């Protein structure tokens, strides 16, 4: 019997998933997802969260089973590590630390920078740096470090993604804006201070607590790992007849 990846109500409470923002920064489109207000803080209805997460998982699983590309974006401190772990488990591209403007809308430039990074790495691995002076080698090594910091997670972004997942709608406005321009489906966590209508599949939840973000990403990883297409089998070449 399959075990549902949807976290229990008790686990969601323990993770603080129900804590919204202050009433003074409330977005009116989040009203359907609010359970109550307590001490000037809005509380998110976790039944609605569970329903939204179920719908998002169904969508993401179908997309992955069809071979579609999902770009995971986590540029907040609570989400960087779990976003990277989830993307790597699913063999998908990711962005942490900082969103580079034009990642989607100026895609050719981004892919050219990734290629430049990989060319430098190949040159270094083959001993190609030996021909440079010590200072030149140091500069190239520093360049590789800088490029890895910005582009390491985009190596698997071989084409525009079919879906963009964000760990926080508020902190990912630029990436969501680019996704909307490129007509790319979006999924992500949305707190009470943001407009859920910006996302194709919004998941109302606390996007500022590490445990809350981890709970959602763990559910995604559990549900989607089985949908990752298996690599094509390597067919041995038939020897030519002599």
CA 179/CA 199 separation, integer angstroms: 10
- Please tell me whether residues 15 and 76 are part of one structural domain: yes
- Please tell me whether residues 141 and 175 are part of one structural domain: no
Helix or strand (DSSP H, E) at 50: helix 46-65
CA 93/CA 95 separation, integer angstroms: 7
Domain that holds residue 138: 107-153
The torsion angles phi and psi of 94, rounded to 5 degrees, stand at: -150, 160
What is the predicted pLDDT for the residue at 3? 65
- Please tell me whether residues 37 and 84 are part of one structural domain: yes
pLDDT digits (tens, 9 = 90+) for 113-148: 999 999 999 988 988 888 889 999 899 999 999 999
Mean predicted lDDT score pLDDT of the chain:
91
**Between residues 103 and 38, the one the model is more confident about:** 103
- For residue 215, is it within any domain? yes
Confidence label for 4 from pLDDT (cuts 50, 70 and 90): confident
What pTM did the predictor assign?
Answer: 0.89
Angle at 74 between CA 68 and CA 80, to 5 degrees: 120
**Domain containing residue 137: CATH number:** 1.10.287.610
Task: Report, as an integer, the average pLDDT of 38-43.
Answer: 90
- Please tell me whether residues 119 and 212 are part of one structural domain: no
Confidence check: pLDDT of 241 > 70: no
Task: Report, as an integer, the average pLDDT of 93-111.
Answer: 94
Confidence label for 86 from pLDDT (cuts 50, 70 and 90): very high
Confidence label for 202 from pLDDT (cuts 50, 70 and 90): very high
Burial of 116 (0-12, 13-18, 19+ CB in 10 A): middle
Confidence check: pLDDT of 235 > 80: no
- Please tell me whether residues 148 and 193 are part of one structural domain: no
- Please tell me whether residues 167 and 193 are part of one structural domain: yes
The pair of three-digit structure tokens given for residue 202, joined into one six-digit string: 């919004």
What is the predicted pLDDT for the residue at 211? 95
CA 43/CA 29 separation, integer angstroms: 15
What is the predicted pLDDT for the residue at 163? 98
Asked if residues 110 and 157 have their Cβ atoms less than 8 Å apart, the reply is yes
CA 165/CA 216 separation, integer angstroms: 12
The torsion angles phi and psi of 124, rounded to 5 degrees, stand at: -65, -45
**What is the arrangement of strands in the sheet containing 41-44, beginning at the earlier edge strand?**
19-22, 41-44, 34-38
Residue 95: which of 144, 181, 157 has the closest Cα? 157
- Please tell me whether residues 148 and 85 are part of one structural domain: no
Confidence check: pLDDT of 240 > 50: no
- Please tell me whether residues 37 and 137 are part of one structural domain: no
The pairing of strands 19-22 and 41-44 is antiparallel
Other beta carbons less than 10 A from residue 167's beta carbon: 28
Count of residues for the chain? 242
Task: Report, as an integer, the average pLDDT of 208-233.
Answer: 85
pLDDT digits (tens, 9 = 90+) for 156-169: 999 999 999 999 99
- For residue 15, is it within any domain? yes
- Please tell me whether residues 167 and 220 are part of one structural domain: yes
- For residue 236, is it within any domain? no
Task: Report, as an integer, the average pLDDT of 207-225.
Answer: 94
- Please tell me whether residues 82 and 186 are part of one structural domain: yes
Instruction: Provide the β-strand partners of residue 43.
Output: 19, 36
Asked if residues 69 and 161 have their Cβ atoms less than 8 Å apart, the reply is yes
Asked if residues 54 and 202 have their Cβ atoms less than 8 Å apart, the reply is no
The tally of domains found in the chain comes to 2
The torsion angles phi and psi of 105, rounded to 5 degrees, stand at: -85, -15
- Please tell me whether residues 30 and 130 are part of one structural domain: no
**Domain containing residue 38: CATH number:** 3.40.50.10490
């Amino acid at each position: 019997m399959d075990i549902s990846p949807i976290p229990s109500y008790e686990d969601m409470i323990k993770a603080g998933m129900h804590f919204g923002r202050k009433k003074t920064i409330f977005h009116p489109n989040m009203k359907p997802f609010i359970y109550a207000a307590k001490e000037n803080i809005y509380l998110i209805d976790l039944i609605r969260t569970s329903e939204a997460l179920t719908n998002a998982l169904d969508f993401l699983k179908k997309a992955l089973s069809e071979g579609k590309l999902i770009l995971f974006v986590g540029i907040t401190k609570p989400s960087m590590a779990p976003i990277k772990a989830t993307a790597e488990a699913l063999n998908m591209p990711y962005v942490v630390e900082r969103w580079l403007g034009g990642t989607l809308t100026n895609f050719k430039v981004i892919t050219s920078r990734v290629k430049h990074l990989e060319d430098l790495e190949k040159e270094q691995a083959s001993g190609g740096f030996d021909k440079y002076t010590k200072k030149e080698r140091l500069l190239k090594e520093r360049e590789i470090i800088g490029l890895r910091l910005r582009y390491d997670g985009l190596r698997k972004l071989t084409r525009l993604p079919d879906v963009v997942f964000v760990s926080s709608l508020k902190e990912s406005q630029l990436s969501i804006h680019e996704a909307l321009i490129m007509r790319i489906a979006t999924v992500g966590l949305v707190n009470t201070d943001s407009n859920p209508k910006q996302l194709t599949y919004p998941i109302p939840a606390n996007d500022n607590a590490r445990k809350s973000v981890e709970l959602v990403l763990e559910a995604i990883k559990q549900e989607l790992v089985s949908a990752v297409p298996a690599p094509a089998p390597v067919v041995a070449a038939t020897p030519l007849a002599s």
